[in-house]
Amino acid sequence: MKTTFKYLIITLLLIILVKKTDSCTIFYVEKEGVILAGNNEDWSNPASKMFFYPASNGKHGWVKFGWGSGFPQGGMNDQGLFWDGTSGPYLEMPISESGKTNLQIPIMQKVVEECANVEEARKIFANYYCEDQYKAQYLVGDSNGQSVIVEGDNILDKENDYQVLTNFYQSNPELGGYPCWRYNKACEMLGQMSKLDPNFIGSVLAHTHQEGKYPTQYSTIYDLKNGLIYLFHFHNYNEFITINLTEELQNGNRTYNIPDLFSMISNISTSVNKKEGETSVIFSWDGLPDSNYEVIYSFNSDFSNSHKVSFVNLNSASEKRYYGFVYLFVLLPFIKIKRRTVISFICVILFFSLCGTACDKNEDDLPEDLKLLTHTKTVTEFETGKTYYWKIKAKTDNFSNFYSESVSQQFICN
């Protein structure tokens, strides 16, 4: 009985440890000349960041994603060399320790700053190693169709059109993290793909994202040949930002808080109404209250010859507080109250107003979905029987040059 109880406790502890392990899903795909990569970054810290480093002193320009520590979790350089990494169990590296130079910086920083392709990256891995490799591995891919997984002393070549990395060592699965449902799901979908495009990569990311204690904080899709990156926030695959790496690197060294760039667009829908010979469409979506929005619609799926309807939202709490003060001071002269009472009343109102402002700040601690509002915009003069494509373009009030947009939708105006 005691032995059975002991094994039960050990099993429960192992389950807890597995659930506490942070997880990520990374894959690289090449098909008919199209080369894309995808990544889900799963962690408990929501304060994710994006860093740009222009080329200088013979080093390539690059972008990295991660957190405030500045450690490069993943990214791509201006040569189309991409990488991302996952954590794993402790891995011994006797070959590295006996014959390689121990770097004092993350090894992937050296790789993206000095290498243009996987072959050049192999030379770095053959001569250097760093401390984080004892509990981390990397998937590295280039714009020529080559990728490798680097796990300690081992380098695994791509054998199919794709290569997938999660949180177990494929050459040492017995060390832990295997089997992995995210790995299996990604391989299943990639093995059955008929067309390779960013939408398909997004669907793989959506099917392998994490929730709970270690949710997917951000996701990235890399177009390695064209130097484009599609960035998503908090496993919301309805809204993304397009990053042209060449253009962004021309703007100098910069750092952005990823959550600040998004309006949390969701629940996107349309409703067609006909009344007295006029056809109108009500566009509806949920999003942050203070973002600026544009509804863009077109006959064409590429949004050529598109129409735009723009409007600005005001913070409802601030707006009500502002007009409340206006009404108060307009009405005061007509209210027969002693002067001392009026002054006391105004002081009380000011006090609670300041407290209200503090409460507004504390709303950041509430679940994000509680801060969303439903936005609607009615547009008329649509042609009956025509198919329309539409999307939402959004800009948060953060003084960045980034606009987010929703995944395009379509409807038939019947």
Do 247 and 359 lie in one domain? The reply is no
Q: Which amino acid is at 247?
A: E
Report the domain count for the chain: 2
Do 46 and 82 lie in one domain? The reply is yes
Do 294 and 232 lie in one domain? The reply is no
Do 253 and 268 lie in one domain? The reply is no
- pLDDT, residue 341, reads 56
- pLDDT, residue 22, reads 57
Do 275 and 234 lie in one domain? The reply is no
DSSP sequence for 377-407: EEEE-PPTT-EEEEEEEEE-SS--S--EEEP
Do 191 and 162 lie in one domain? The reply is yes
Structural domain includes residue 184: yes
- pLDDT, residue 275, reads 78
- DSSP label at 407? P
Structural domain includes residue 4: no
411 strand-pairing partners: 388
Among 220, 236, 259, the domain boundary falls at 259
Distance (Å, whole) CA 105 – CA 131: 9
User: Residue 17 is encoded by which pair of tokens?
Assistant: 């440890």
Do 277 and 335 lie in one domain? The reply is yes
pTM over 0.75: yes
User: Residue 377 is encoded by which pair of tokens?
Assistant: 């915009």
Asked if residue 391 lies in contact with residue 409, where contact means CB atoms within 8 angstroms, the answer is yes
- pLDDT, residue 343, reads 54
What CATH number does the domain containing 142 carry? 3.60.60.10
Asked if residue 291 lies in contact with residue 374, where contact means CB atoms within 8 angstroms, the answer is no
Structural domain includes residue 183: yes
What CATH number does the domain containing 295 carry? 2.60.40.10
User: Residue 405 is encoded by which pair of tokens?
Assistant: 């947009």
Asked if residue 62 lies in contact with residue 78, where contact means CB atoms within 8 angstroms, the answer is yes
Structural domain includes residue 2: no
User: Residue 314 is encoded by which pair of tokens?
Assistant: 């005001």
Taken in order 64, 236, 401, 117, the sign of the CA dihedral is positive
- DSSP label at 80? S
Instruction: Write out the chain's pLDDT in tens, 414 residues.
Output: 444 444 333 333 333 333 334 589 999 999 999 999 999 999 999 999 999 999 999 999 999 999 999 999 999 999 999 999 999 999 999 999 999 999 999 999 999 999 999 999 999 999 999 999 999 999 999 999 999 999 999 999 999 999 999 999 999 999 999 999 999 999 999 999 999 999 999 999 999 999 999 999 999 999 999 999 999 999 999 999 999 999 999 999 999 999 999 999 999 999 998 877 788 999 999 999 989 999 999 999 999 988 998 866 544 333 444 444 444 444 445 445 555 554 555 444 444 443 433 323 233 333 444 489 999 999 987 888 899 999 999 999 877 889 999 999 999 988
The boundaries of the domain holding residue 319 are 263-414
Indicate the pairing of strand 128-129 with strand 101-102: parallel
For helices 107-114 and 118-127, angle between their N-to-C axes, nearest 10 degrees: 140
- The C-alpha angle 173, 178, 183, rounded to 5 degrees, equals 110
Distance (Å, whole) CA 81 – CA 141: 6
Among 259, 291, 314, the domain boundary falls at 259
Do 394 and 308 lie in one domain? The reply is yes
Do 268 and 133 lie in one domain? The reply is no
Helical ranges in 152-197 per DSSP H: 181-191
Structural domain includes residue 14: no
Distance (Å, whole) CA 250 – CA 246: 7
Do 253 and 350 lie in one domain? The reply is no
Distance (Å, whole) CA 276 – CA 278: 6
Structural domain includes residue 398: yes
- For 56-89, b/e burial (b = at least 16 CB within 10 A) is eeeebbbbbbbbeeeebbbbbbbbbbbbbbbbbe
Do 240 and 282 lie in one domain? The reply is no
φ and ψ at residue 235, rounded to 5 degrees: 40, 35
Structural domain includes residue 307: yes
Distance (Å, whole) CA 81 – CA 113: 10
Structural domain includes residue 374: yes
Among 259, 275, 298, the domain boundary falls at 259
Q: Which amino acid is at 374?
A: T
Asked if residue 166 lies in contact with residue 22, where contact means CB atoms within 8 angstroms, the answer is no
Asked if residue 63 lies in contact with residue 50, where contact means CB atoms within 8 angstroms, the answer is yes
Distance (Å, whole) CA 303 – CA 299: 7
- DSSP label at 60? P
Asked if residue 24 lies in contact with residue 74, where contact means CB atoms within 8 angstroms, the answer is no
Distance (Å, whole) CA 198 – CA 219: 12
Q: Which amino acid is at 411?
A: F
Do 219 and 293 lie in one domain? The reply is no
Question: Which of helix, strand or coil describes residue 346?
Answer: helix
